[in-house]
Amino acid sequence: MMSKYVFDLDHTLCDPPYNKKEKRWMYFDAEPFYDRIEVVNKLWEEGHYIIIETARGCDSKINHYEKTFDQLRSWGLKFHTLRTGVKYAATWYIDDKAINSEDFFSGKHQ
């Protein structure tokens, strides 16, 4: 049975630097985690549905969809849906199906 996966973007699939002077994340200077992108791409190739979700634009109300889409494609990331500016900011996410990103990409969830 194919599954639906939702991946957070920043600090899960890439590492954007923080500009202390401007007090903002530099999303489009982010370094991709290619080892994690390979895992996501493998899931996509196996037929799973991949959603990338990011809070980019939640606070600023800037629509980062197009630039983020282009950024993900330049990294070779395969996905079906990109959602920007819709992620709820929270310290904790509680879900019966949730997996910590570090556990998922290290294989500890299996």
Task: Report pLDDT for 110.
Answer: 65
89 or 83: which carries more pLDDT confidence? Answer: 83
Q: Rounded distance, CA 84 to CA 87, Å?
A: 7
- Per the structure, how many domains does the chain have? 1
Q: Rounded distance, CA 43 to CA 30, Å?
A: 23
Across the chain, mean pLDDT equals: 90
Q: What is the pLDDT of residues 9-51, one digit of tens each?
A: 999 999 999 999 999 999 999 999 999 999 999 999 999 999 9
CATH of the domain at 79: 3.40.50.1000
Domain of 74 in residue numbering reads as 4-96
Whether 38 maps to a domain, the answer reads yes
Whether 101 maps to a domain, the answer reads no
Residue 57 burial (CB < 10 Å; 0-12/13-18/19+)?
A: middle
